[in-house]
Amino acid sequence: MTTDTDVIDAARRLVAAELAPPSRIAHGALLGVASAMTLTILSLLLTEPALPARTTAALIGLTMIGFAWSGYALWVLARRHVLYGAQRVVAGWIALGAATVFSIGGLAVGVWGAHPAGLVAGISGIPVAAAAALILSHARRRVTMLADRLHVIKTEAVSMR
Amino acid sequence: MQGRGDSSDEEIVIRCQLGERDAFDMLAVRWAGPLSAYARRMTRDEDAARELTQDIWLRLLRSLPRLREPSRFRSWLFGIAHRAFADTLRRRYATTYHLDEGMPPPIGMAAADDDAALHADLHQIEQALTDLPPVEREVLTLFYLHDLSIDEVATSLSVPVGTVKSRLHRARRLLRRTFDMQGE
């Protein structure tokens, strides 16, 4: 016989497991690393002159694998381990920070190190940083809107007492 | 489901959407019972109910950030429950059975006061519900046992209000017939 306490405990366990941060952090890290690696390899592929055919094939293969891992991590974060308000803002800042550092690093290597691959990597990181900025802005607007609504509800509740 | 505590559903849902951990706990305490009861009534089987309840919770947690109108949480939640149950049926029977189309033919009977059967006590209703087809069982469960309005039931089931009313009418007649048979 299932009691109310049993079903509440079961729901609590499920919620705790679903909201557990390690998997989210792991998949967020996977997304960051896979994206950075993919962009770097793609830059090498596009800028290195006269690569042997086998090297070109290997780099294409690695790029495809990188895109696949990035896509998988994105899918998990979007569908399986969704992020809530404050988490989205933190994730947005991390994404913006990582993309900015990657772009500036790539551009620095390209300009001062005279490596075209760095330049391409740095430039390709700019749209990623822009996307991260958009996501961050959207997440902050949403949190502000929710916080405002919560404030209104609490104020109404107090005035009704 | 307000009244079980100080916070409204809307407040708890917004706090969840903001990512406040203790709000999820409040959500679990408040809704674990009703969701489990819904699953038991719809599946009529303890194990299947447990599985359905888990499915509903997972869908809820993964969809909650996208809920745009927290004030309509109840109908949204039972909409999720309805879709989870429909998917359970589809998996079980591996057919293209649709809840919206899978109406059993109305059972002929003399027209009578449809609400008369509903004066029986809750226990009798629960027993009689288990004999009803899924569509009728669900609409009665949501309307009478979970106190959803007709508009909320319509939103939950993604059907027009008129359809809800006709389903309720048919469900009451079936329920009355069940009571009559029990009384004979």
DSSP B88-153: HHHHHHTS---TTT-PPPPPP-----GGGGGGS-HHHHHHHHTTS-HHHHHHHIIIIIS---HHHH
> Is residue B3 predicted with pLDDT exceeding 60?
no
> Is residue A57 predicted with pLDDT exceeding 80?
yes
Binned at pLDDT 50, 70 and 90, residue B104 comes out as very low
- A10 to B58: CB separation less than 8 angstroms, yes or no: no
**Spatial contact of B11 and A154, defined as CB atoms under 8 Å apart:** yes
- On whether ipTM exceeds 0.85, the answer is no
- B33 to A2: CB separation less than 8 angstroms, yes or no: no
pLDDT of residue B76: 93
Spatial CB neighbours of A70, under 8 Å, sequence gap ≥ 6: A31, A34, A35, A38
Q: Mean pLDDT check: name the lowest of A69-78, A112-121, B68-77.
A: A112-121
**Spatial contact of A122 and A109, defined as CB atoms under 8 Å apart:** yes
- B25 to A83: CB separation less than 8 angstroms, yes or no: no
**Spatial contact of B73 and B13, defined as CB atoms under 8 Å apart:** yes
HEC per residue, B24-77: HHHHHHHHHHHHHHHHHHHHCCHHHHHHHHHHHHHHHHHHHHHCCCHHHHHHHH
pLDDT of residue A159: 82
* Chain A residues 7-46 within an 8 A CB cutoff of chain B: 7-8, 10-12, 14-15, 18-19
Q: Which of A7, A82, A154 sits opposite B32 (nearest CB)?
A: A7
pLDDT of residue B121: 62
Residues of chain B in contact with residue A143, where contact means CB-CB under 8 angstroms, are 18
pLDDT of residue B115: 47
Residue type, A79: R
Cβ-Cβ pairs closer than 8 A, A with B, add up to: 86
Could you give the 3-state DSSP secondary structure of residue A54? Answer: helix
Shortest CA distance from B63: residue in chain A: A82
pLDDT of residue B122: 64
pLDDT tens readout for residues B116-161: 444 456 667 777 787 788 888 888 888 888 888 889 999 889 899 9
Average pLDDT, chain A: 87
pLDDT of residue A112: 86
Average pLDDT over residues A6-35: 85
Residues of chain A in contact with residue B4, where contact means CB-CB under 8 angstroms, are none
Give Dmax over CA atoms of chain A in angstroms: 78
Is 0.90 surpassed by the pTM of this model? no
Rounded to an integer, what distance in angstroms lies between the CA atom of residue A78 and that of residue A31?
12
What Å distances lie between residue B23 and A92, B29, B114, B183, CA to CA? 23, 10, 41, 47
**Spatial contact of A77 and A92, defined as CB atoms under 8 Å apart:** no
